[in-house]
Structures are given as structure tokens and as C-alpha cells.
Structure 1
Amino acid sequence: MEDINEGLNGSSLSSFADDTSLSLPITSIEDVPNLQRDLDTVYTWGSRNNMVFNEEKFEILRHGQHQEIKTETNLLKEGGHEISARQTAKCLGAHLGEDCTFHYHIDETVRRARGMAGWVLTTFYTREPKIMLTLWNTMIQPLLDYCM
């Protein structure tokens, strides 16, 4: 997998385990075909190396001032279907918003931690400090610590 980025023309590729991201600053509509060519290069690499990409997980995150570029351009998956744009994209467990903030990630983390805290409080009747602290440290705190 070390050669997946060979032949890319300007795009930045980053991989960790089975998570791969391709990015390119788009400053004009003329830059979009360059990103599509680099996507096609990655698709070709995948075919050559018997790698099947999970196209259901493909996401586009568009941010910046150029609204006309965001609305008038599309990128395509290997099969020719359009990659859907999202308001947030998940990378290695963290959600980044199109406004380049982590508001959604923080809200989602708090929601999950509250849900787990509620489950702990309704499932375990004891309120013994040692048990409650153990439950907190093993079931709730890791949700809050991940991607900090």
C-alpha cells in the first residue's frame, strides 16, 4: 500500500489502517478535474492491487468561501456515481464540519456519554463510590477522551 499515492498530481493522500483520505485545495472550477483525475488514479491503483473500496463510505467535505464551486461541481466514484457531499466528514473517529469546526463531534460525543451514563444509572442499582468510579472510568470516560 506504500505506492497508493504514486501518480497523484497535486492531491494529498493520507492513510491509517483501512482509512484513506484524498484532499486538494480547490480555488477555481478548473481545479476540480485535477482532483477527479487523482481519484481515478487511486481507483486504478485499487484495481491493480485487488483492492475493493467501500464506496458507501465515500464522503466529500467542502469548505471555504466559493459557494459556486461547492454547488456547481461533482466528483464521481469508480462506477460513475456521484460522491455525496456532507456537512460533516468522519476521519479516524472524529467528525469535522464543513465550517472546519468540531461542533458536531462534540455534540455527538456528549450525546453518547449521556446515553451511557443513563444506561449505567438505570442498570446498576448500587451507588457505591468504588463501583461507580470503575463504571465511569471504563464505560463513560473513554467516550469523552477519544479524539481529544
Structure 2
Amino acid sequence: MGDIGEGVEGSSLSSFADDTSVSLPVTNAEEVSSLQKDLDTVYAWAASNNMQFNEGKFEMVRHGQKLNLKNETKLYTEGGQKISALPHAKCLGASLSEDCSFHHHICQVITRAKGMAGWVLRTFSTREPNTMLTLWKTLIQPLLDYYSQLLAKQQYCTS
């Protein structure tokens, strides 16, 4: 995996465990071609290393004001499937949105934390402070703390 980025010229490639992302600021059609070329380079690397990507998991988030560029350009997987443009996609545990906010991510975190708190309250009949504190620190607080520095300046979800 250490050489997966060799040959990628214009794009930024990052990998963590079994996740890989390829990104490039695109302001014109030539840069779209450059991004597709870099994707094709990664696909060739996968083929030469006897590896396959799960094309069903390919996601693309588009940022910016140029609606015609966003609407008219397309990127493709190795198998020729069009990569879907989504309003938000997950990257290394954070949900990135096309409006460059973390609103969707914050709402997901709050929903997971509320769900876990509900599970704790339904599962454990004791309300002894030390037990509740241990459960909070072990099961709920890590959900809230993950990416907390990144999200510190964002507006919180009220729903």
C-alpha cells in the first residue's frame, strides 16, 4: 500500500487502513481530466497489485460555486460506473458536506450519542454515580469527543 500514490500527479491521495481518497480542487474541465487520469493511475496500481476496489463504495463530494462545472463533469470507476456525487460523504470518520459545513456530521454524532445513552439507561438498572460515570466515559463521551476539535466552531444541530 505504501506505493499506491506513485504516478499520481496532480491529485492529493491519502490512505488510512483500507480507505483511500483521491482529491483535487477542480476549477475547469482540464482539471477534471487530470483527476480522472489520477484515478486511472490508482486503478492501474490496484490491478498490478492484484487488488480490487469496492466500486459500490466510491463517493464524490463537490464544493464550490461553479454549478455548470459541478453538473456537467463526471468521474468513473475502473469498471466504468459513474461515481455518484453526494451531498455529503464520510472520510476517515467525519462526514464532509458539499456546503463545507459539518452540520450533517454533528447531527449524526448527536443521534449516536443519544442512542447509546438510551441503551445505557434501558440496560443498566443502577443509577449509582460511579457506575453511571464509568458508562458515560466508556461508551458515550468517546462518541462526542471524536473530531471535537475540528467541530468546535460549527453550529450545533438542534433536532
Q: Distance in 2 between matches of 1:18 and 1:147?
A: 20
Measure how far apart 1:2 and its partner are: 2.1
Question: In the alignment, which residue of structure 2 is the partner of 1:11?
Answer: 11
Question: In the alignment, which residue of structure 2 is the partner of 1:140?
Answer: 140
Q: Unaligned regions of 5+ residues in structure 1, if any?
A: none
TM-score (norm 2): 0.89
Where do residues 1-148 of structure 1 align in structure 2 (5 Å cutoff)? 1-148=1-148
Measure how far apart 1:78 and its partner are: 0.6
Measure how far apart 1:9 and its partner are: 2.4
Q: Distance in 2 between matches of 1:16 and 1:128?
A: 40
Aligned positions, number: 148
Measure how far apart 1:147 and its partner are: 2.2
Counterpart amino acid of 2:67?
Q
Residues 40-77 of structure 1, C-alpha deviations (whole Å, 9 max, x = no match): 11000000001111112111010011111111111000
Measure how far apart 1:141 and its partner are: 0.7
Measure how far apart 1:29 and its partner are: 2.0
DSSP-derived class of the 1:118 partner: helix
Q: Distance in 1 between matches of 2:115 and 2:15?
A: 32
Counterpart amino acid of 1:50?
N
Q: Which moved more, 1:76-85 or 1:22-31?
A: 22-31
Runs of 4+ deviating beyond 2 Å = none
Q: Distance in 2 between matches of 1:123 and 1:5?
A: 47
Residues 114-137 of structure 1, C-alpha deviations (whole Å, 9 max, x = no match): 011111112212111111111111
TM-score (norm 1): 0.95
Q: Considering only aligned residues, what root-mean-square deviation do their CA atoms show, in Å?
A: 1.0
Identical-pair percentage: 66
Q: Distance in 2 between matches of 1:3 and 1:130?
A: 49
